[in-house]
Every structure is written in structure tokens, then in C-alpha cells.
Structure 1
Amino acid sequence: MTFKTRILATTALVAGIAASGVAAQEQSIIVQSTTSTANSGLYDHLLPVFTQETGIAVNVVAVGTGQAIKNAANCDGDVLLVHAKSAEEKFVSDGFGVERFDLMYNDFVIVGPDEDPAGVGGMQDVQASLEKIASSGAVFASRGDDSGTHKKEMSLWASTGIDPTSGSGAWYRETGSGMGATLNVAVGMDAYAMTDRATWISFENKSDFEIQVEGDEDLFNQYGVILVNPAKCENVNAEAGQAFVDWVISDAGQAAIASYQLNGQQLFFPNAD
């Protein structure tokens, strides 16, 4: 199905749902999601608009990307919205997802205390900054939870040739927790941490922490959206789930994403094709 055909089909679906009155209110979907989109407040901004337009209620399960993918593969959801492109593509190639779409992007940053013990402040070369942190023995707090952020962090460490887990328990601390909890640990230990920018902007316990490393192309953070395959999961609400996918990648959905700001800063940048 072409994009134009899909949008026309979705328009017809939305019109049909809206015309059905009470039945529209009974429509609901589950979105298995990364935590950053929830913690940043994006869903509080987007979902009321979508529900008002379609009558479809959206229930979000916000977990790390790895867990969200596992949940969706176990048929515990209708739509997957995460940020680990290679894992998303495997999810589709393995038959668990119908089709993957680029949705939006932002970037990752490395934050740390203003005293900056590793001397990485202002650096744009993320690999060089990680090497300095490791060689200095400065504490680094990692999510260690197979989330999209953790997957990205580990790929960056791999590009330096450093295995940070060899320093586990010494300078490298794995929290096994979400981004907010990991940032709280980092602040409590004066440790560096890698986070997506949206979570950092919305994080309220910054203390004397600031962004130390940013601007490297390798810190690009792409989000994707996928309908869970009803051929694999008979319980998937395919029509309502596809309506959600089509809406977030449509002009209206993309404009809604672009309009979300916090503290005067845009958190996500739409780039659906």
C-alpha cells in the first residue's frame, strides 16, 4: 500500500470511527514505548489531540526500548514506538512488525557536574570524551538496561575499543534503571551520564550538572514507529493501531510533534518521509 493510499484509507477509517459515536469511545490501543517520549511529556501533548480527532484512546506502556520490543513481540501491544533502529528493523524482518517508519529525532548528550573532573566540557567528539572519562577514572553512570539509550552508549564505547564493564563497580556504575533514575544516581555520585536531550530538558533534579558533550553526529537519536503484525498477534487492534501510526507520520501529527516545547525548547524534530 502506498503512503497516499494508506492515508486515504486512514481518513476513511477515522471518519467511520467518528461517525459511530459510542463505538468510537470503545476503541483503544496499547503503545509499547520508550521512556523518553513519556517522561518528556510528549504524549500528554499528542494523545489528547489524536483521541479528540479519532475517538481512539491510547494507553502507553513506557519502558526501555529493549523491554518494549520484547513486550510487543509477546503480543502485549498494538504499536511499537522506540529508538533503536537496527533492533526495530530486526523486529520487522522477524515478522513481528508490519512496517517501520522514521518518526522524529533529537540527540544524545553527556552530562556531568560543573567541576568536570575528566575535562570533557565543550567537547564535540564523543569517542574522545569517553576515552578521557575512562582514562581519568571519573565515575560514569550507565542505565545498563538494554534500553535504546543503553544500546547507543554501548555502541559508542565499542567504537573507542574500551570495554567499560571491565571497570564495573569502580568508575563505571550500571544502575539497571530508567533514564530519570539513572540521572538521579549520577547527580548523587557526581558522575557523568549519557541521556537523550528531551529527558535532560524535562529533568528537574539537575543540581550543578550541565551538558558537557554535545554536537557529534554520532549522538543522533532517531525514533521509529511500527504497527505490531496482526498475522503474528491475533489480538492486535490493527485498524486503530494503523490509524495511530498514520496520524503521527501525517502532516497533522508531525506538526503536533514539532509544536511541543518545554522551557522554550523544542524536544523532538519530526522527520517522517
Structure 2
Amino acid sequence: MPQHLAVETLGGGVRLITLQRPQALNALTTALLAELAQALAEAEADPHTQVVVLTGNRKAFAAGADLKEMAERDLTGILNDPRQSSWEQIRRFSKPLIAAVNGFALGGGCELAMHADIIIAGEDARFGQPEINLGIMPGAGGTQRLPRTVGKSLAMQMVLTGEAIDARHALRAGLVSEVTQPELVVERALQLARLIAGKAPLALRLAKEALLKAMDTDLASGLRLERHAFTVLAGTRDREEGIAAFQEKRPAQFSGH
């Protein structure tokens, strides 16, 4: 039983994971990240879960790494931090992941949000990489994912000044896909999750893989992956079911095969 998470299976192929360290604005500890990695591994293995929504609370999605824990670690401890393996497990999650963000998403919290495939933000959300104020720099992918998402200039500004941006700025920069009222953030994320969960499972995984590949490879390599994935999907029963359902004007019943 996780101590720092609440995990709910909501039906319809959707699972909701809520970070629960409200007394510390959901600051990320080694234990919390390990629990999150385990929760995602369980969702990965569950054939009835197609989409995961990850959220925090109204004050904070996650306000960064836990500074008390960081202060207790020496340099060797940081370099061999078990959180790095947890981050890698989170990165490898292959099913669609939606982040529902209210309040602070700072440092590791911003990096965690960027691990999601879609970010829905409340009007009160703030995204930032303030590590420079502590004499350090982002260490969970922030210097790599942020410029790929918002561009070099804004990423440089956020990382080098430590200043956060609000939800509307994040929307204009492409960091989030939608901004809504804070009280509707989770509801909207779950609505999208249910819509996505109704699609063909294999198509979802391969489409996600191809889209992520576009962010870290050259066009020719990305096109080769896309062609291979398209060919694989062309031979599936779900492709036949999708075409038949369209022609018969009925909802498709995908099986994942």
C-alpha cells in the first residue's frame, strides 16, 4: 500500500494517481518517486488500464524535490541517488499519461509534468525550474525536455533565472495543451483519458512511441519508425474492426490485437 499516493481504478480503461504529501506541497522524495514508478509499472501490466491521469492537489502538483532530503545527502549520495532509476522507470511508461496540474509545478514537479504526454493546467498553475537559486541545475531531464518543448530562449530564461511562468504563458509556449478553471482540471483530464482509452491499445502505444521519437531523432529515422508502426497496425484485427465500425456507423470494439 503506497504511503504517498492514492491510486484509483475508475473503469473505462482509466486509472487516477494522486500525489499525497500535502504538508510539503507534494515535494518529491525518494520514497514517493519509487511508489510512483511502482504504480505506473502496475498500470503498465494491467490489460484493463489504457490511460493514466496523474495529479496533485489544488495548491501544488509537485513543488520540486524535497529539500530536507537533499540536504541530508552528500555528493556521492546525489550521484547514486535511487531516484534516478525511478525517473527512468517513469520515462519508460508506454501507455498514455495525462498530467492534471494545479498550483506549483516547480523543479522536479515541472520535470514530472513533462514526463506526461498531455498536460491540462488550471488557471492557477505555475511552471518553473528554480534549481539555479540553490546553486544547482535541473537534474531529471529539465534541461533536455524544456527546450524541446518551449524552445531555446524561453527554456534558457526559465532555467537561468529560476523564474516561473503562469498557465497562459505555458499554453502559448506549448508546454500545456489546455488551460481550464482549477476546479475542472482533473475532470477535464479524466474526460480526455476516457476518450483516449476507447481507442485501439496497440495503435495508442505505437502512436505515442512515434510522436516521442520525433522529439529526439532526425526526420528520416522518425519516418522509418512511423512506416514500420503503420505496417504493423495494418495487419491487426483492431484495424479491421475500426474500418468495419466506421462503415457500419457504430462504436468500435477494440481488442488490442
Q: Which has the higher contact order (CA 8 A, sep 6+)?
A: 1
Structure whose CA Rg is larger: 1
TM-score of the two chains, using structure 1 as the length reference: 0.25
TM-score scaled by length of structure 2: 0.26
